[in-house]
Amino acid sequence: MRQFDLAPLYRNTVGFDRLFALLDQSAGVDAAPTYPPYNIERTGENAYRITVAVAGFTDQDLAIEVKENTLTVRGDKKVLEARKAEILHQGIAARSFERRFQIADGVQVTGASLENGLLHLDLVREIPEAKKPKRIPIATGASATAIETQKAA
């Protein structure tokens, strides 16, 4: 049987950890990394941070949008036509980009910051009260009889 690596799927999704644990046991798809590079890290039990390398972009060049279960980061670098110096080598990419991340139900973007060429997006998974585990008390002896009597009445 052929083994597949699901690690590339972790790159574009946030909040699906349990699903990936199950999928890791079966098959997956490999995808090539694209521009710009990024990291996804877990910062708490229900908290995540996506860090995108956006060297040369300002906050006015970037747009962040959440629609349904898709987080989209766009960068549109305006090219300056009147340059003072001739560029002999351009190793720092300044091209426009669009990066999409699939986020799970209940995952909310709580903030974004740009520092030292890195765009940080903070996300939190908010579990509704109805989906949180509930502890059910167990009635024993006399209390069980009293509960049955109340139900019958």
The secondary structure of 88-109 as a DSSP string is: S---S----EEEEEEE-TTEEE
Question: Which CATH class for the 38-152 domain?
Answer: mainly beta
Q: Which residue has the higher pLDDT, 1 or 64?
A: 64
In this predicted structure, what is the pLDDT of residue 28?
45
Q: One-letter amino acid identity for 13?
A: T
In this predicted structure, what is the pLDDT of residue 137?
84
Q: Is the pTM of this model over 0.85?
A: no
d(CA 114, CA 136): 46
User: Does 136 have pLDDT greater than 80?
Assistant: yes
Q: Where do the structural domains in the chain lie, given as residue ranges?
A: 38-152
